[in-house]
Structure 1
Amino acid sequence: MSHRILRTGLFGLGAALVSFHPGAAHEIVGNRFFPATLSIDDPGVNDELALPTVDSFNTGDNPPVRQRDISGEFAKRITEDFAISLGTAYTFLGPIDRTAAGANGFQNLETLFKYRVFKNAEHEFVLSAGLSIEWGGTGASNVGADPFNTYTPTIFFGKGMGDLPDTLSWLRPVAITGVVGYAIPERSFTGTFGVDPDTGAQTFDTEFHPQMLNWGGSIQYSMPYLKSAVMDLGLPDFINHLIPLVEANLQTPVANTLTSGTLTTGTIQPGVIWTGTYFQVGVEALIPINRQSGSNVGVIAQLHYYLDDIDPHGIGKPLFGGAAQPASPFARQ
């Protein structure tokens, strides 16, 4: 899914910029399996279903608000290299001190159009480009869904270290992925009429909607790769299915920032993914990088199905073209 910025607020509290983004793809490049990461989107183009993705954290509002999301996303290949995904989230907001009522509702629907631009098996490198559209007005305003569209052109990349020399063979299971997107709101500002409580005079408040640089990455150590492409250490089978990783998911206002400022917000997310032949399960901590990003350590977890492996000749087959090579992390063992 694209990097949507949720502007969460409750009872007139200052809004915090919180990134929500369930990962949407996995990818095989040579011997390298790139899993679907939980918060940033990776460069894969596949048929997949992420359901559910759940998270819980305290927002950067003052005082903070407890936010919980349950989301889902479906990705479908049109051709071998081009896919469209649809996703949304249901959000629960509530004051931590329980002194007021909470709010809940759907976030805006998001669509991501992604095309795999380049793939090199020898160097385990893949590059994709995409356009995410957040459809304004499809969600509930009381949980921060904007009434206007936001367009985010994005570049995705992944690089495995399998081409390192034999002297560095223990680093071959390492891989990095990255994403850089530029979010452009359809509306530059929103004006609101009000009344000054002291003088009774009419007021007009303007909130500018900034253009955002959405950026991040992950560093991973693949135990399946270690066993199949480097060395079988005879570890328990459960361990051989794990990919420990750390994600970074960050947002920086870069234009139209008069009311938002230019402070970067986001999270660092250490965790682990267990990969199977047909699905994966992942869990990560959500560690805010500053007070404006959140007031505690949260958590995110996801169950993710590989439809192209479950049914490669049916729902997992591109609409145009034949069944593709399975994208299982164990397909090349």
Structure 2
Amino acid sequence: MKPTPIPQALGRTRKTHVLAACAALSAGAFQAQAHTIVGDRVFPATLTIDDPGVNDELALPVFSYMPSANPDGSPGSFNYSMGWNYQKTITADLAFSIGNEFDWQTRPSAQGWSDITTQLQYVPWQDAKHEAIVSVAVAYTFANTGSPQSASLPSDPFSTLTFNVYGGKGFGDVQSDWIKPFAITGEFSTNFPMTATNADGSLNPTTITYGASLQYSLLYMNSHVAEAPEFFRNLIPTVEAIFTTPVGNLSPDMPGQFPTNVTTGVVGPSVYYIGRYFEVGVMAQAPINKESGSHFGAMAILDIFLDDLAPSTIGKPLFGPPQARGSY
């Protein structure tokens, strides 16, 4: 499930307290993390956007940290999040996922569980020869399924419906060897709060989330272009970014608070290690403005490949044959 910065001036709800990077773990809805294999291309479970495929996987934990800023520019709270997500294939092209996260902050101290998010993701098209894939998903975050409203960091009292489109393209079909290890992925999501106005009169905005990653797979290079040093051959260095823009139902700007119509986001380098049964990834996040954070944050993930670890039991689809695997 992946990080999407959310403006800090969204009204007096949980989103006013959780840092950009923690909110990034739920682009209006907590998304599924999973690695995707298309032909001989492995798309890792990147930390800012979801990868474009469906698999049987368990992401545990997904950690993030981001220091926030106050509207006057002074240092704000230190914000942390520890999340999890389980994705289960129904068929080789259809999967259901569920997850949430525990958030805490210091200066001032607060903590609480986010609401539970479920997602149904479908892959209508993929081309193994050209290492290309597209998927669509619908996610729903259930109100009041996290910490109660009496908690220091309560869950949101409203549900959210999210529509997502994901895509990925590897360049192994290009003639030039130096391009072959490169790949790109992208995501576009629209988030609709099911309750427009909170009990205190604040508004819950409709937002769009969009992001991309540029990957250089030493794993792919070692298998299909040139041999890499053993220490590096399972690594996928990446540059990634994610942004969220409020587009509707915005509260009026208030003195001493962040504007409600500001795009927030993070960009930064990351690296992923792909093992046979797991993936480990880390990322340094740079906020794009003070609404997103005060300075660099970090994210990390451990993703367990259940489809490789237990392909004949919990790692296979409920119906039909499993996905074909490339020679990665």
Bin the TM-score by the shorter chain: 0.7 to 0.9
Do structure 1's residue 92 and structure 2's residue 139 form an aligned pair?
A: no
| 1:70 corresponds to 2:82 | yes
CA shift at 1:61, angstroms?
Answer: 3.9
Q: Secondary structure at the match of 1:50?
A: strand
1:169 is the counterpart of 2:170: no
1:86-125 pair list within 5 angstroms: 86-95=98-107, 100=108, 102-125=109-132
Q: State the TM-score, normalizing by the size of structure 1.
A: 0.86
2:214 aligned counterpart, secondary structure: strand
Q: Which amino acid aligns with 1:148?
A: F
Mapped partners of 1:323, 1:113: distance in 2: 18
How far apart in 2 are the matches of 1:2 and 1:255? 23
Residue aligned with 2:308, SS? helix
Residues 5 and 264 of structure 2 are in contact (CA less than 8 Å); yes or no, is this contact kept in structure 1? no
Task: Find out whether 1:138 has 2:145 as its counterpart.
Answer: yes
Please, which moves more after superposition, 55-64 or 147-156? 55-64
Contact map agreement 2:218 2:232 (CA 8 A) in 1: yes
Corresponding position of 1:215: 210
Counterpart among 225, 230, 234 of residue 225 in structure 2: 230
Q: 1:23 to 1:77 in 2, by over 3 A?
A: closer
The answer to whether the 8 A contact 2:34-2:59 is kept is: no
Paired residue type of 1:305:
I
- Note if contact 2:4-2:244 (Cα within 8 Å) is conserved in structure 1: no
CA distance in structure 2 between the partners assigned to 1:306 and 1:278 by the alignment: 5
Structure 1 unaligned regions, length at least 5: 193-205
CA RMSD, Structure 1 to Structure 2 (Å) = 2.2
Residue equivalent to 1:153: 163
Cα separation, 2, equivalents of 1:270 and 1:293: 17
The answer for the alignment partner of 2:243 in structure 1 is 250
Q: Which runs of 5+ in 2 are unaligned?
A: 26-30, 253-258
Shift of 1:265: 0.1
Letter in 2 for 1:114: Q
Does the CA-based 8 Å contact 1:79-1:319 persist in structure 2? yes
Report matched runs for 1:221-300 at 5 Å: 221-232=216-227, 235-259=228-252, 261-300=260-299
1:6 deviates by 6.1
1:30 and 2:39 matched: yes
Equivalents in 1 of 2:32, 2:8: separation in Å? 21
* Normalised TM-score (structure 2): 0.87
Mapped to 2, the partners of 1:248 and 1:29 lie a distance apart of 23
Paired AA for residue 249 in structure 1: I
Q: Report the residue type matching 2:203 in the other structure.
A: F
Larger RCO (CA within 8 A; separation ≥ 6):
2
Counterpart of 2:246 in structure 1: which amino acid?
A: P
Q: Which residue of 2 aligns with 1:47?
A: 56
Identity across the alignment (%): 37
Other structure's SS at 1:190 match? coil
Aligned to 2:327: 332
Offset, 1:2:
6.5
Aligned pairs (5 A) from 1:183-202: 183-192=191-200
Q: Is the 8 A contact 1:23 1:37 kept in 2?
A: no
SS of residue matched to 2:221: helix
* Conserved 8 A contact 2:4-2:265: no
Residues 38, 127 of structure 2: 8 Å contact kept:
yes
Report the counterpart of residue 198 of structure 1 in structure 2: none
* Aligned partner of residue 171 in structure 1, secondary structure: coil
1:58 offset after TM fit, Å?
A: 1.0
